[in-house]
Structure 1
Amino acid sequence: MSGYGVKTRAKPVGHWATWATWATWATWGTCVAVAALASLAGCGGGGGGGAAPAPAPAPAPAPPADPVARATASALRVYAGEAVQFVGGDLQNGISWRWEFSDTTAMDGLVAERLLAQAGSVQATVTGQNSLGVTARSSVTVQVEAAPALAPRPAGVWQPGCSGLHCATAADGSYLGAASGVGVWRLRNASPSTRVLDVDLPGVKPGQAVTLVFSHGESTDANDLPGAGTLAAPASASPTRAHALAASDGTQAAADAAHQRLLNQQRLQALDDLQTPPVAAAAPAEAPQRRARAATEVGASRVWNDLMDDVSKPVPYTARVVSTCAVPGRRVVFWVEDELSTAGTVKTSDVDALQQSFCGDAGGYALAVALLGEVWGSSEINTRPWLLQESATNRQDVNVVVTSHLGSSTSTVGYFYGVNNSYRSRSSRYANSNEALAFFVRGTSLARSPTDVSSTLVHELTHMINYHQRSVRRSVSHDSWLEETSAMATEDLLSDRITPGANKIVRGRLPNYLASGSGTPLLDWAEGQSTANYAMGGSLAAFLNRRLGPGWTQKIITECDAMSSYACLDGVLRRAGSEGLADEFERLGTTVFGGMPQRHAPLGYGFPKVQWPGYLLMGADTAEQAGSRRKAPLDALTRLGRTSHTYVDDQVPAGATRYVRRGVRVPAGTVLTVVVR
């Protein structure tokens, strides 16, 4: 409930009026007293010599407006964990606002947002006050309900795709109206052949946006193409919408492609480790000296080899230690290439910003290791003497090398390469190893955007952890799509802690996937399609983080020994209470291409702002960003690949009260979702 509060006028109003009256009379009295003195012409009316008249007194300032409070909430009934936006009224100059909640929380500002975690009733009271002390109050109450478990959705049935709060689909299949939320209907075709059906949705209004989303979340391609059928009446043209966020430019595409090439080499490295039999033997005699060379102090220098393009053709350069820091259990050493320092390209402040986000007990390194596991050191390493050795009292440093040498790419921001985790004596392939746990980041990227490089460093740290935890410890190597999806999941999870307000996945990868027009199979992580692949994988990672929390990222390391990557993630999701990868994949496609609000999407959909223990995840509104999508990509589709989406945008025709499409084709293993906004 909401209402207007009684305004209270404070005493300062009277003081202001008294002062203004006194000032006016005092000025007039002074002028009368000196009127006979011609030399004081500033008062006017003294005559003599044609003196200019005195300027008229400045008008008294208008008193500030009284505040008008009108408390509203973005929803009056929500599920526990939802973010609710409270607005105190219209914007007024000179008014300060204060929110007080019945759970004893308080916030300043005309607009306040709260994550309401506990079921119950929360009353929010806003107080507006002007400079004279006049106040106005208003309250609104929000009912918070415990979120129910998602009900299983049977295959082969055309049915509502959502239920509960914010779902505008009635049990009988009709649309309840925009005031109730978003309407979602679905059919999952579990039969071995294509299904053809007519879509008939009563209760809609002319001009409403309708999207048909086809999601094929299986591990094999569909054996047929989807079809949108025929609209029962001509649809009016879709209105032009401004692009909320545009797709990435060619620089991002080149960076992703270069990173993908390195990832392919890293997979070969993992396979090499899988094929090398463990042998109990002593470490090479030169190992202590090599470790000491890497663990140097500020000012020391060494030669590093860039191996990104070809391990047999190293590109050497000299770098110096500019700083070190402590992280749980070991040390991080920051190096800057001499050429970058001499030219002034990279400054101490640039490295300081990176160090602040990465180091300490609450930095990116500590958070990622706590989430995913150690970067190095285990009994498995001790039985492989060709790998860098360490003990509990003598651990390897982690090296962050800032350089201009990152292969032939001019846009790659950073990389990790497991070949450097082996001694040179291992074989001829490792003759140019840097013999260090190391990341390499581009100096110009760091100088331009320390925030972007901080996120990249967490991404590459995930690769380092995965290499140790999967390849070395468990003899498992996952496909590129899962490796990169997991790295982007870490970026998303840690963004609020290391780069507050700058989530690279939500603000970059997600809008890029929206703009891609879909049609990219996630499992076909091809180098030539790297930007679309990364956009899709990042979107899936962010979606799963908000749906299931951080646990799934841990379990793809610990619970997926000797499995295919698809079976790995599918099993992890099922054990987390999901219906599996195909179902989550449909929810993702419906959210991205069907369009969902950031706040109050139907349960199981959307990119809401979410708080898990230790993690705060930014939200995103894909309905507002719908204008950045390509129109009707289904028209040009030649293949419905494994794990891919496609869609068709529509509008309810003028004069219609039902949305009808006849002859919609749904291939085997595909889910059709219809969304009305």
Structure 2
Amino acid sequence: MKSRFNGGLRHVAAACALVLLAACGGGGGGGGGTPPPPPAPVIPDPVVHPSASATQLYAGEYVQFTAGDLQSGVSWRWEFSDGTTAEGLSVERRLAQTGNFTATAVAQNSAGVTVRASTSVQVEAAPAPVARASGTTLQPGCSGLHCAVAADGRYAGSGVGVWRLRNDGATSQLIDVDIGNVQAGQAVTLVFSNGESKDAAELPKSGSALLASLGAAPSARIQAGQEPQGAAGEVAQDAQHARMLGQLRQQWQDDLRDEQRRPQAPRAAEPLRRALAAADVGSKRVWNDLYDDETKPVPFTATVLSTCSTGTNRRLVFWVDQELTTARTVEAAQVEPLKRSFCGDQGGFARVIALMGDVWGGTEVARRSWLIQESAAQPQDVNIVVTNHMGADSASLAGYFYGLNNSYRWRGARYANSNEALAFFMSGTGLASNPSYYASTLVHELTHMVNYHQRTIQRNVLHDVWLEESSAMAIEDLLAETITPGVNKIINLRLPSYLRSGGITSMIDWLDSAGSTDYGAGGSLAAFLNRRYGSGWIKQLVSECGDDSYSCLDMLLKRAGSAGLADEWERLGSSLFGGMPQRHAPWGYGFPQVQWDGFWLMGTDTAQLAGSRKLAPVNGLTRFGSTSHSYLDDVVPAGATRYVRRGVRVPAGTVLTVVVR
């Protein structure tokens, strides 16, 4: 208040001085002198009204502080009760400690007038999980600070409310949905989730509304067949990549079989060639593309454009097809983003290895003489081969890893064209046009390389395709801020893809067709689990799981405190199709911005993405497959204060969640 008063005195004094000067005729001259200058403009004092996105929140959550409205010529800074500061009209902070936290906004105008005001938030410990028992009626599906379910079971009046029913019985249940204290026009979504490892015996049905309310605002929904620009290319790339997984599975089966058969090198074989440490900048070699058929290689010559260290003894070597360098499609400038992302002891490669284990070596490799060998003093390089020779349809393929190249050629007829190297193949034209996408793709393929070594070679374990791909997308998500700051392929592409699909897919029945939406489903699940549990579940997938992928992940989640994979699948579906804010969603739902184990994970507001969903797919189902979702978008009708829907069918083994926002 003192600063405002003093500032006002300065402006008044200046105005009085100008009046006196004019009354005296400017100091002489009989009134014919130069007229006085106009008075200086009055600079208003800053107005500060600080607020927070929530007054109560849980430890670890992010909160946004806003100082007020934008004002010309005013600079803003913040002083926090933990001793830190920040600049800007609005700032975001992660509050890790419980207790009261005060944020003071400090505004200063061009006249030097400073105004301060404060706001406080209360930070509480994370809540105990809400009981999620099965039953025959809807029960509150959330609890705590951000849950808009009142103590009597009605909607609390604002925010997001979640109600839930899990049918653990042997037959379908018909239930009535009846939620009070809602307002006309509010969005309501009924989400059906089958998180089991088998199809539902019956189909879910939406029942009938008490008043005609179904199908609100159909123009805000993308109809079947409509896709945003670029989506078709993503689907084509996914289909091509999924086909390579079939070849990888054959490779894994070969490895398991040869562990028993143990092939021997021919006595007259040439000295064993090793792709070791001979690749300096400017070196050339012929690589074989084996994507279409390993018995019909497509050879091409590539040159080493660059190399770098990884924080271990292993190098990364960047090869570029000579056709691309001659055409100047890929030069050092296009390789540089990959180097920045992956090289060094804090780069993407080092972080993946620290999380999951090395890409090669150890006793299990050494005792299999048919695999390419290395020593601690001379490890294999990891080769990133940039080319457009990746199968007949290389335009639709972003990149691939093929474990066949990790074997010597003498191993058998299938291996006669092996590159005898640890290698990834990546699209040159794709890299040149979208380096962020391809840096993320390289993380994905690196995960496959680690999985091949750590699971198949070291432990003789095969995972189903859905878990193999979901784990690779989980690593893309975890490392996004390391390799492509501000861009997250899983949040930016995979989540919207699954929303567009309408959820009518069975993730564990992974398809490699061009119309498959499984990558959207698997990527969404991976991102959801990362924000719930951090990186621990990924580590344990590598080290502890057997061949039963569903049971494995279910067990790991229960060990982490979850009710299991089916429960997480319901939370995922409600978070995506029900729509949740990025900040302050009910505990256990949504895609918040989080920090875990040294990883920073981007958040997203799925309520704002609601326009990309298909219309009410639940009533058009012909199958409610294992690990699938469906939903009904609805709205509270005019004049209503209750949301009522009669005869909603919940199949055995599935969950109905009602989200009101």
TM-score (norm 2): 0.93
Q: Who is 2:459 aligned against? A: 474
Cα offset, 1:222, TM superposition: 0.3
Does structure 2 retain, via aligned residues, the 8 Å contact 1:281–1:383? no
Cα offset, 1:290, TM superposition: 3.0
Cα offset, 1:557, TM superposition: 1.1
List runs of 5+ in structure 1 lacking aligned partners.
36-42, 45-55
- Give SS of 2:274's match: helix
Q: Who is 2:239 aligned against? A: 257
Q: Who is 1:540 aligned against? A: 525
Task: Give the Cα–Cα distance (whole angstroms) in 2 for the partners of residues 16 and 451 of structure 1.
Answer: 59
Task: Give the Cα–Cα distance (whole angstroms) in 1 for the partners of residues 81 and 263 of structure 2.
Answer: 65
Cα offset, 1:346, TM superposition: 0.9
1:602 to 558, 577, 586: 586
Per-residue CA deviation, residues 419-468 of structure 1 (Å, 9 max, x unaligned), is 11011111010111111101111111211121111111111100000000
Q: Residue 674 in 1 paired to residue 661 in 2?
A: no
Q: Who is 1:39 aligned against? A: none
Q: Who is 2:148 aligned against? A: 168
Cα offset, 1:151, TM superposition: 3.2
% of aligned pairs identical?
57
Task: Give the Cα–Cα distance (whole angstroms) in 2 for the partners of residues 379 and 16 of structure 1.
Answer: 87
Per-residue CA deviation, residues 568-591 of structure 1 (Å, 9 max, x unaligned), is 111111111111100000000000
- Give SS of 1:213's match: strand
Q: Who is 1:159 aligned against? A: 139
Task: Give the Cα–Cα distance (whole angstroms) in 1 for the partners of residues 12 and 265 of structure 2.
Answer: 89
Q: Residue 512 in 1 paired to residue 494 in 2?
A: no
Q: Residue 182 in 1 paired to residue 160 in 2?
A: yes
- Give SS of 1:118's match: coil
Cα offset, 1:612, TM superposition: 1.0
Task: Give the Cα–Cα distance (whole angstroms) in 2 for the partners of residues 5 and 231 of structure 1.
Answer: 61
Letter of the 2:72 counterpart: N
Q: Who is 2:203 aligned against? A: 225
Structure 1 stretch 541-550 or stretch 279-288: which is displaced more?
Answer: 279-288
- Give SS of 1:527's match: coil
1:23-172 equivalent positions in 2, closer than 5 A = 62-157=41-136, 158-172=138-152
Cα offset, 1:268, TM superposition: 1.0
Cα offset, 1:229, TM superposition: 0.3
Matched pairs, number: 647
1:461 to 446, 449, 452: 446
Letter of the 1:399 counterpart: N
Letter of the 2:191 counterpart: V
- Give SS of 2:369's match: coil
Does structure 2 retain, via aligned residues, the 8 Å contact 1:5–1:136? no
Q: Residue 329 in 1 paired to residue 313 in 2?
A: yes
Letter of the 2:286 counterpart: V
Per-residue CA deviation, residues 214-264 of structure 1 (Å, 9 max, x unaligned), is 000000000000000000111175235488x95852111111111111111
C-alpha distance 531-94 of structure 1, shift in aligned 2 (>3 A): farther
Q: Who is 2:188 aligned against? A: 210
C-alpha distance 61-358 of structure 1, shift in aligned 2 (>3 A): farther
Q: Who is 1:7 aligned against? A: 4
1:315 to 298, 307, 316: 298
C-alpha distance 186-288 of structure 1, shift in aligned 2 (>3 A): same
Does structure 2 retain, via aligned residues, the 8 Å contact 1:320–1:337? yes
C-alpha distance 6-79 of structure 1, shift in aligned 2 (>3 A): farther
Letter of the 2:118 counterpart: S
Task: Give the Cα–Cα distance (whole angstroms) in 2 for the partners of residues 152 and 638 of structure 1.
Answer: 32
Cα offset, 1:137, TM superposition: 1.4
Cα offset, 1:400, TM superposition: 0.6
Does structure 2 retain, via aligned residues, the 8 Å contact 1:306–1:314? yes
1:650 to 598, 619, 634: 634
Task: Give the Cα–Cα distance (whole angstroms) in 2 for the partners of residues 440 and 386 of structure 1.
Answer: 22
Task: Give the Cα–Cα distance (whole angstroms) in 2 for the partners of residues 569 and 311 of structure 1.
Answer: 33
Per-residue CA deviation, residues 101-127 of structure 1 (Å, 9 max, x unaligned), is 101121100000011111111000001
Cα offset, 1:566, TM superposition: 0.7
Q: Residue 582 in 1 paired to residue 566 in 2?
A: yes
- Give SS of 1:210's match: strand
Q: Residue 354 in 1 paired to residue 338 in 2?
A: yes
Cα offset, 1:492, TM superposition: 0.4
Letter of the 1:408 counterpart: A
Task: Give the Cα–Cα distance (whole angstroms) in 1 for the partners of residues 15 and 168 of structure 2.
Answer: 83
Cα offset, 1:9, TM superposition: 4.9
Letter of the 1:572 counterpart: L
1:484-563 equivalent positions in 2, closer than 5 A = 484-528=469-513, 531-561=516-546, 563=547
Letter of the 1:176 counterpart: A
Per-residue CA deviation, residues 277-302 of structure 1 (Å, 9 max, x unaligned), is 2549789975664324x631110100
Task: Give the Cα–Cα distance (whole angstroms) in 2 for the partners of residues 671 and 95 of structure 1.
Answer: 52
Does structure 1 retain, via aligned residues, the 8 Å contact 2:130–2:141? no
1:228-377 equivalent positions in 2, closer than 5 A = 228-235=206-213, 238-239=216-217, 240-241=219-220, 246=228, 249-277=231-259, 279=262, 289-292=273-276, 295-327=278-310, 328-377=312-361
- Give SS of 2:444's match: helix
Does structure 1 retain, via aligned residues, the 8 Å contact 2:387–2:427? yes
C-alpha distance 290-129 of structure 1, shift in aligned 2 (>3 A): same
Structure 1 stretch 349-358 or stretch 407-416: which is displaced more?
Answer: 407-416
Does structure 1 retain, via aligned residues, the 8 Å contact 2:172–2:650? yes
Cα offset, 1:530, TM superposition: 5.9
Q: Who is 2:391 aligned against? A: 407
Q: Residue 444 in 1 paired to residue 429 in 2?
A: yes
Q: Who is 1:53 aligned against? A: none
Q: Residue 636 in 1 paired to residue 620 in 2?
A: yes
Does structure 2 retain, via aligned residues, the 8 Å contact 1:283–1:389? no
1:192 to 170, 178, 201: 170
Task: Give the Cα–Cα distance (whole angstroms) in 1 for the partners of residues 447 and 588 of structure 2.
Answer: 27
Task: Give the Cα–Cα distance (whole angstroms) in 2 for the partners of residues 59 and 505 of structure 1.
Answer: 60
C-alpha distance 7-506 of structure 1, shift in aligned 2 (>3 A): farther
Letter of the 1:163 counterpart: S
- The CA RMSD measured in Å over matched residues stands at 2.7
Does structure 2 retain, via aligned residues, the 8 Å contact 1:192–1:668? yes
Cα offset, 1:382, TM superposition: 1.1
Q: Who is 1:428 aligned against? A: 413
Does structure 1 retain, via aligned residues, the 8 Å contact 2:236–2:514? no
- Give SS of 1:277's match: helix
Cα offset, 1:18, TM superposition: 9.1
Does structure 1 retain, via aligned residues, the 8 Å contact 2:282–2:305? yes
C-alpha distance 277-65 of structure 1, shift in aligned 2 (>3 A): same
Task: Give the Cα–Cα distance (whole angstroms) in 2 for the partners of residues 256 and 9 of structure 1.
Answer: 66
Cα offset, 1:531, TM superposition: 4.8
Cα offset, 1:524, TM superposition: 1.3
Per-residue CA deviation, residues 293-344 of structure 1 (Å, 9 max, x unaligned), is x631110100111111111111111100011111123111111111111111
